[in-house]
Structures are given as structure tokens and as C-alpha cells.
Amino acid sequence: RNLCNLEYGNGEYEVWIIDDNSTDNTPQLLAELQQEYQQLNVFRRSPQASGGKSGALNQVLPLIKGDIIAVFDADAQVTPDLLFQVVPLFEKDRVGAVQIRKAIANAPENFWTKGQMAEMLLD
């Protein structure tokens, strides 16, 4: 929902979720969300699909209509004004890619989240 609720024009952006052959209730949840958000598109990979994340992105890339593509992991949370902050950066002639700062929201919570925070400090 976070990515479908960004403040940008009249919802003039697409959100693609790649379902990498989930075996839980993810397909049903995504179908419900598609009814709620017109900009949400879902691509369900076949059980035979290979290539991991890069393979999934390569399958969806030909379907994307936009000029700017952002890639997020499933647990990403972004501020509602993200597109207003990032899109203008692409107006500069020499800008072809932008990486935004990432952080662990619950870093002090436990051993695993502390480890993730330490890993990101090295990025």
C-alpha cells in the first residue's frame, strides 16, 4: 500500500509487484489490492522461472510504460513525497540513475535488525 499511496500528480505512475510463485495467500491479497489501486500491476512468475531477482526484473521490464524505473524490495517503506523529491533529479542532462538512502526502521529491535543496520553502514 505504501508505494500505491505516493503523492504524485493524479496517480500518474505504475506500481509493479512481481510475485515469485508464492505458495501462501499472496496472490489473493494482490488481487484485492489491484481492485483498490488502479496503478497496481501484478506479474506472477511461473514455477519454472529462473534468474532470481534479476530474472524477475528482466521479465517485467518490457511491460513497464514509464521513463523512470524504481526498484524496491518487498519490505520497503518510503515517504509519500518520494517521487516529488527524486523525479526532478532526472531533469539534469548528466543524471541517468539515482540511489536513495536506505535505513532500517527498527534497527535496535533485535540481533537480526542490528546486523542489517551494520551491513547497510558498509554499503
| 18-45 tens-digit pLDDT | 999 889 999 999 999 999 999 999 999 9
The range of the structural domain enclosing residue 113 comes to 3-121
Q: What is the pTM of this model?
A: 0.78
Give yes or no for residue 110 having a pLDDT over 90: no
pLDDT at site 11? 67
Give yes or no for residue 73 having a pLDDT over 90: no
Q: How many domains does the chain have?
A: 1
Write down the H helix ranges in the chain. 26-36, 52-60, 82-86, 111-121
Provide the pLDDT confidence category of residue 9 given band limits of 50, 70 and 90. Answer: confident
Give yes or no for residue 106 having a pLDDT over 90: no
